Structure 1
């Protein structure tokens, strides 16, 4: 069994504010004003309030929810997720069959599908995309190919901090509608992970014409070529028209040749409005038709005003990260257990999180295989926390507690309030806390990935697909700077669980066993889960909230 040890920075989260643009986009947008009243929100135009700028529009180079929200409208993947669930359904492939040991997947592809540039989608195009990702090198390989690293491990030729064994072996186009993907070992994330937006199918001709792989690096910044910035070319229900960063607008237009249900609106505009309260005001004024992550405190007032609050099924977790390299005392499991005993999770969920939030005692969501009541539970008990600290000789424990600012997440609507509540609980158990607030896109994301930089921190996760490995495998499957621990027993347990592709019951049992080991080791503290929502105007119909944040807009109409 190949052990994955990819020394790459784990992506921080799936949904929320995008990072600052690393490159100035040159595409000029037409004004979103049209003849329907001057605000671009007429019946044939849908305007959605986005929380942040996109990084670029090449799926493989992205890892944040604001960018993926746009990408999902322009691109398709081999498999899709049933609207409103994590169930895998046909996408560009109508059928997918693994071989006996899960090291080969045969895809039967839809016929007659075309990319936005008119070139055919076929098996050769599928293999071109997989070969492209596998053969990435230089700055392109280092540039936020986080999903590829998480799922496929290393590259054909590892460079820089990519050191893992590659999962990908080859791809064969046996005929126009049959692509065979060969792997070096089985992967339990499949077939679900084939539906990740990062693995969307791009036009091979457009990739080559617009120099898609010519990424350049300057320090920690990357600049992206014309394909990513101006010519994204997929098979999706909408096509790219323009992006004007100065006006904060992304404009997509209906793909009249779409293979599936044609978009109900001719134009889809994303208006970038970073402030959540400003998005609320724009919705009330009628200048946008919807926005994501309304403040839970505003749910009722939004409903009273006639807006709809569409609540997603829960598929996320907020956790307290513990960096064992940040403070030597954190290497003692008694100290880590004391931290968990000190936190009143139920009160946190009730007072600081949206309606329907719940306390968590493990990292696997309740509806996924791998969830088990057999985990070791560390209930709220300040006296027990003090006892464990005393046993570990850590009565005078002081922790640097990093808290993000200038950010809203579905699992963390107000990080400073949440951080304050957790800090108060820790102090009540005798732990001294030094709060370190840092801007989300101004140092926080980097700081919490550095060994020794911090002691504890707030982060969370929204699931990408319906597999337990997407949670505990992503978090604890290998050495990570965020947690700073080395536990071969946990690494092996997760690797073995991930390899059980063709035996669902064995896979379920293996992940349950891994979850128990993790609960006893306490590499981090699971805190809460929350049901995030989308707010839309009264007449908007057809938007289905997804537990994966995989909402599609081509089915949406406006009354």
Structure 2
């Protein structure tokens, strides 16, 4: 830990801090997210790199702490489905936007940005970025420029949730990539998005430095600090030590047992509910979890109140895929802690003891406190008759498993990957429809029923929001009854920061806006 803090100190010299206002952030990630377009390492990659260097056609409104984040115009000022063809979306682009290299945002550049992520023959196609976007892009057919300020996005099937998906397609400068001879390794030395920060420099595996974009198109979101320094620090104790010693200003996911110490030292700790679940997503095809009795047993074995107590106010009990604050929560069945019932179900299913292998990470985006939490859940499962084996790995490896699906990893019975049910398409339908079986979506365990699949398809074709919301709520209730996940906890998104950090608003979202932050001397 001391070595890590010393490294941070060496990286962030006093002369740098005194010359300009600098916000130094310790991420939970083990490495710097990719900065050449679509980031890797899950939503933390989007939170700190993707959405700071780039914009989508549609952005998230992260200005409020008292309600779930909603959509707001980004590089598009207007979007609507073609009333004559529900596979066609008409997108009106914002005028006068320039990339960081000075090139213009045009309909042709927007069309190319989609093609480079869906068409293997397109100039600038990148297999890595294609893989990261596969779950979002699977229903995009093609994009056509229309005149001076519009594009038409064609989907393979009607999809009323398309605006949510568009938040994840990040626009990069075609000029800059062409100048790099279409080589992303060269482009990485001078990437150009349209976001509120511009790339300055990187030390691989150590830090990424961004500077504010004085010419950002959204004048309200020009950063109130000069420089943003992003540091990967996967160990919670290292992040805490770095904050206490003044080496960083802002840390993700402080360990619950360090919060009293942080607060007594004058640090500010913030939490807020947001769309998050911390579960075991199980293999629904192969034994033992293809038997609903085994899935029910596991859910009755978990003492969620004890898990929440372990988290000391930084997490809440998780009884369903969505948190109760979600507009789609409804009235799902509740799996109360009942160890006797859990044991009876295992014996009834003929799996006692019932051996399972769970893939987990040591840290990562939204993973909370995975080591301590998994050890507690293991003890609870084993108390009723399970035998739990952990396959422990870093976050990037686990995220790769989650993308490829259960078929590619037959020796793994469940994965502990936190999920982001921020919106219906990926956050709910993504886990319950056959068309979203990984690698085509986040449905790692290949869960579906004919009833849920039909209702999901109907929701995608329903453009009346109230009717569609009712369908998503029903899908959530039907899904929880089938227990395709072992429901455990919901994160309350803890962060800690120096008292010098002013202006931060903790949004009810996986994503956060750092631009309002000012650093007091």
Q: Compute the TM-score of the two structures, normalised by the length of structure 1.
A: 0.80
Aligned to 1:392: 349
SS of 1:367's partner is coil
CA–CA distance in 1 between the matches of 2:81 and 2:369? 44
Aligned to 2:174: 204
Unpaired runs of 5+ residues, structure 1, are 1-30, 154-166, 215-223
Aligned to 2:379: 424
CA–CA distance in 2 between the matches of 1:168 and 1:447? 24
Alignment deviations for residues 61-120 of structure 1 (CA, whole Å, 9 cap, x no partner): 535244321232111111111124421111112222222364222222222111111111
> Which of 74, 78, 81 does residue 53 from structure 2 map onto?
74
Aligned to 2:156: 184
Q: Note the 1:469-508 alignment, pairs <5 A.
A: 469-478=425-434, 479-480=437-438, 484-485=445-446, 487-489=448-450, 492-493=453-454, 495-508=456-469
CA–CA distance in 2 between the matches of 1:354 and 1:380? 20
Alignment deviations for residues 263-312 of structure 1 (CA, whole Å, 9 cap, x no partner): 22222222333432222222222222212111122223222212211223
Q: 1:507 to 1:400 in 2, by over 3 A?
A: same
Aligned to 1:226: 186
Q: Is the 8 A contact 1:363 1:471 kept in 2?
A: no
CA–CA distance in 1 between the matches of 2:417 and 2:297? 19
Aligned to 1:110: 94
Q: Is the 8 A contact 2:32 2:207 kept in 1?
A: no
CA–CA distance in 1 between the matches of 2:228 and 2:276? 28
Q: Is the 8 A contact 2:212 2:225 kept in 1?
A: yes
SS of 2:277's partner is strand
Q: 1:142 to 1:521 in 2, by over 3 A?
A: farther
Indicate whether 1:260 and 2:237 are aligned.
no
CA–CA distance in 1 between the matches of 2:379 and 2:151? 56
Unpaired runs of 5+ residues, structure 2, are 1-9
Q: Note the 1:270-309 alignment, pairs <5 A.
A: 270-309=230-269
CA–CA distance in 2 between the matches of 1:190 and 1:41? 45
Q: 1:498 to 1:148 in 2, by over 3 A?
A: farther
CA–CA distance in 2 between the matches of 1:77 and 1:487? 31
Alignment deviations for residues 14-33 of structure 1 (CA, whole Å, 9 cap, x no partner): xxxxxxxxxxxxxxxxx965
Indicate whether 1:547 and 2:508 are aligned.
yes
Q: 1:539 to 1:203 in 2, by over 3 A?
A: same
Indicate whether 1:381 and 2:338 are aligned.
yes
> Which of 415, 420, 442 does residue 370 from structure 2 map onto?
415
| Residue 446 of structure 1: how far off its partner (Å) | 5.4
Count, aligned residues = 492
Q: Is the 8 A contact 1:408 1:414 kept in 2?
A: no
CA–CA distance in 1 between the matches of 2:101 and 2:298? 55
Q: 1:443 to 1:146 in 2, by over 3 A?
A: closer
Q: Is the 8 A contact 2:41 2:396 kept in 1?
A: no
Q: Is the 8 A contact 1:124 1:176 kept in 2?
A: no
> Which of 362, 368, 379 does residue 326 from structure 2 map onto?
368
Alignment deviations for residues 114-140 of structure 1 (CA, whole Å, 9 cap, x no partner): 111111112222112122222135995
State the superposition RMSD in angstroms: 2.8
| Residue 540 of structure 1: how far off its partner (Å) | 1.2
Alignment deviations for residues 221-275 of structure 1 (CA, whole Å, 9 cap, x no partner): xxx5322x222211112211111126x1212122232212232222222233343
CA–CA distance in 2 between the matches of 1:393 and 1:275? 40
CA–CA distance in 1 between the matches of 2:415 and 2:248? 35
CA–CA distance in 1 between the matches of 2:269 and 2:132? 31
Q: 1:146 to 1:534 in 2, by over 3 A?
A: farther
Q: Compute the TM-score of the two structures, normalised by the length of structure 2.
A: 0.85
489-498 vs 332-341, which deviates more?
489-498
CA–CA distance in 2 between the matches of 1:202 and 1:422? 43
Aligned to 1:16: none
> Which of 141, 144, 160 does residue 172 from structure 1 map onto?
144
> Which of 38, 47, 54 does residue 60 from structure 1 map onto?
38
